[in-house]
Amino acid sequence: MLGRDQRTVHRTLVLLVALAVVFVAGCLAPDAADPTGRAPVGRLEAVFADGDGIRVRGWAADPDLAAPVVVTMSSEQRSRTFVADVVRDDVGRRGFDARFPGLAPGLRQICVWVDNVGPGREGRLLGCREVTVGPVQPTGVLEVVAPGGVGRISVGGWAYEHDRPGPAEVAVTVDGRFADRRPTTVARPDVAAFLGRPPEVGFAVDLPATPGPRRVCVVVVNSGYGTDSSLGCREVVVAGPPQDRRPVGRVTSVVPVDGGVVLSGLGSDPDGPLVAARVRVVGGATVDLPVAAGAFSATIPLAVGPARFCVELVDVPGPPGAASGDRTLPCSTAVVAASGSVSVGTSGSPSSTAPVGPPSTSPLAGIDRDAGVSAVLRDGSVLWLFGDSSAVDANGSLRYFVNNTAAWAAPGALTVTRDGASAGRPVPFATPVDGFPACPADAPRPGMWPMSAVVRSDGPLDRVVVLTANVCLGASLRIVPAGVSVVTWDYDPTRPPVDVPVTGTVVEQLLFAPGEPLWGTSAVLGADGVVHAYACGFPPDGGTIDQYGPCRVARVPVDSVADRTAWEFWAGGTDWSSDQTAAVALDLPDGPDGTSPPMPGFSVKEDPVHGVVVMAYSPWPGFTNRVQVRVAPEATGPWSAPVEVHLPGCADSVSGTLVLCYAGTAQPSFSRPGLLGLGYYDQRIRVDAAGGQYVTIEVPFSVVVVP
């Protein structure tokens, strides 16, 4: 570690080893029911439904056996055994993670025990739990519902059945009436590679429809266990003559391969089948795309590094006087990596959007909130934290303005917040306590801004640890940084805060002082229980792009986040230092347009779907219609160059004033195979709207680790 002499390093290592020995000895200590201390020991830590079965996790050991022990689980008068040989940081090679399959839907009991192999009592029952096993439903994603030209609709996506090896079937309705039913026959290698299935999981449907607004719904038809699954509904306006006669379509996937990317998409033309398309690589060559049945796919050769490329759909000539011509789709970006790094690609265009907010029946319906920070809880629900919350009356006057609020959203409805209100307004999540720094005269009001949140599960509760920025607020958007604080909130899944205000506890008001970096601007919790927290340099009152950065990373055990002495700062390679001045800059390569440092509101999240750490942010100057995304295999990097996502409706002019979006964030709870979840704040959701709202999107996205 930089900044310490060899004796300090030696004492630190001895202390860490001693703590590890005490922990393991405590885990393996005999209990009162076994005075010999020779009976098996262990713990059943998690039991939950998993498809048509139950999954159990925990650890087990026998003092008389050096090798991993055999564990038995039983349900429905059946049993199976497995070996507890999963390596864990806390108990070594004693962990287990096993599944009991083939259970009928309903309430089922499962028991887990370890037989004794030596002296002592007969064995140890680790526990019995009851779990509701649900039916195995088919699944998929509705990616495209778009006008297909005059009197037609283009529908596309992917679907599969867990318990059926062949193609799934999808049924399409328009305005509640049956329109089409067909198997998945379109090759989607990006999705199939993740699912471990044959590539034919995609579907592309071109439907006739009456011109005007239409509602299109898609269902995966179940043929095995379970019931049909809805992939959702979309609103679309079907064109009628005379209308725009140019082709329409979208890029559905950009998958990095050796020497380039495989680009796939869908398109249609109102004047006949789409027969030609091409890709123009910015600063490079133009590649023709073969088109068959409205789908196109080809390998686009790219050099190592970042690249932008744009698909052009070639127009089919239409009637005289109609709008015609080739159409350029939103440009895609990719980073082709060298060996030992990560390649990434995106279409650059979201496939769906969803606002985050309370239902229309809530007293806070229509609330305007920005800077969404999410924390995924053990049951799949989400705690949302917001920066500023406000609402205006019909006459345009401000009804309320509340700094830092929080709300809970249930599993399966992560964008529907169940807010609690007091006197018709939201309640602050955290309120400054003793120790808040003195504020200057031109910014006298103390406030707190949630920057990042991590979740630690312990026993029956989840503890959410929130790193917040202390701020002093003044008039005309005057904001003065005033250090970093730590706030916690405990979640009991048996008592979710439905329509109840969510308030945290300030456990450290001044973890880092004013003038120090804002450590914790973003944070990610690893499987080892260590939080990696990030900070990037920025000018206090805005500035030019060259004044942002560099970015650095620190680490701290999750249970010690509020203890300043427990923090260490990355000094490069495998070195960490207790001296934050020894922290080195992260290597953040330039994008296709040059330098692109993260803005102050950037976020870093672990995305389990894609197996990487994701960094997302609104690029300079912060107010924009784009989000940039970088990925890395681990918290310290190496980080990729950024790829870019274009945000729909984020460059509107209202009464001559340009309104944009900001606070782009990673939202992995919305990620799915082939899709990346992101979020951002839209200043004006409609031209005629009084305010904005926080929005989540899904964008086609692929990651490939280059060996």
Domain 31-133 falls under CATH 2.60.40.10: yes
SS3 of 173-213: the string is EECCEEEEEEECCEECHHHHHHHCCCCEEEEEEEEECCCEE
Write down the domain spans for the chain. Answer: 31-133, 139-341, 352-705
What pLDDT is stored for residue 432 in this prediction? 95
Query: Phi-psi bin for 328: left (phi > 0), alpha (psi -120 to 50), beta?
Result: beta
> Half-sphere exposure (CA, 13 Å, Cβ side) for 700?
32
What contacts 182, CB < 8 A, 6 or more positions away? 169, 170, 203, 205
Residue pair 462/491 in contact (Cβ under 8 Å)? The answer is: yes
Query: Phi-psi bin for 321: left (phi > 0), alpha (psi -120 to 50), beta?
Result: left
What pLDDT is stored for residue 35 in this prediction? 61
State mean pLDDT over 205-217: 89
Instruction: Let me know if the fold of 139-341 is the same as that of 352-705.
Output: no
Tokens of 490: 């405990």
State mean pLDDT over 516-541: 92
Alpha-carbon gap, residue 80 to 40, rounded angstroms: 18
pTM of the prediction? 0.68
Residue 243 binned pLDDT confidence (cut-offs 50, 70, 90): low
State mean pLDDT over 116-125: 78
Residue type, position 211, single letter: P
Which backbone phi and psi does 25 adopt, to 5 degrees?
A: -65, -40
Query: Among 389-393, 407-411, 583-587, which stretch is predicted with the lowest mean pLDDT?
Result: 389-393
- Residue 476 pLDDT more than 70? no
In DSSP terms, which residues pair with 332 in a beta bridge?
309
What pLDDT is stored for residue 241 in this prediction? 67
State mean pLDDT over 271-286: 91
* CATH class belonging to 139-341: mainly beta
- Residue 519 pLDDT more than 70? yes
- Residue 36 pLDDT more than 70? no
Taking alpha carbons only, the member of 218, 175, 256 closest to residue 352 is: 218
Mean of per-residue pLDDT scores for the chain: 87
- Residue 687 pLDDT more than 60? no
Residue pair 511/482 in contact (Cβ under 8 Å)? The answer is: no
Render pLDDT for 417-439 as a digit per residue (tens, 0 to 9): 999 999 999 999 999 999 999 99
What pLDDT is stored for residue 692 in this prediction? 85
Tokens 């309640």 locate to 427
User: Rounded to a whole number, what is the distance in angstroms from the first to the last CA of the chain?
Assistant: 30
Alpha-carbon gap, residue 386 to 587, rounded angstroms: 30
Considering only residues 384 and 38, tell me which one the structure prediction assigns the higher pLDDT. Answer: 384
Render pLDDT for 606-626 as a digit per residue (tens, 0 to 9): 999 999 999 999 998 888 999
Q: What is the DSSP letter of 498?
A: T
Considering only residues 292 and 163, tell me which one the structure prediction assigns the higher pLDDT. Answer: 292
Alpha-carbon gap, residue 445 to 700, rounded angstroms: 43
Q: What is the DSSP letter of 348?
A: S
What pLDDT is stored for residue 49 in this prediction? 78
Residue pair 477/471 in contact (Cβ under 8 Å)? The answer is: no
In DSSP terms, which residues pair with 447 in a beta bridge?
471
What pLDDT is stored for residue 582 in this prediction? 95
Alpha-carbon gap, residue 238 to 269, rounded angstroms: 13
Residue type, position 546, single letter: D
Residue 324 binned pLDDT confidence (cut-offs 50, 70, 90): confident
Residue 396 binned pLDDT confidence (cut-offs 50, 70, 90): low
Tokens of 597: 């440092």
Render pLDDT for 633-651 as a digit per residue (tens, 0 to 9): 999 999 999 999 999 888 7
Taking alpha carbons only, the member of 28, 26, 22, 54 closest to residue 41 is: 28
- Residue 395 pLDDT more than 60? no
- Residue 27 pLDDT more than 60? no
Question: Would you say how long the chain is, in residues?
Answer: 707
Mean pLDDT is highest, among 102-116, 202-216, 566-580, for 566-580
CA distances from 288 to 147, 418, 453 (A): 24, 50, 46
Domain 352-705 falls under CATH 2.115.10: yes
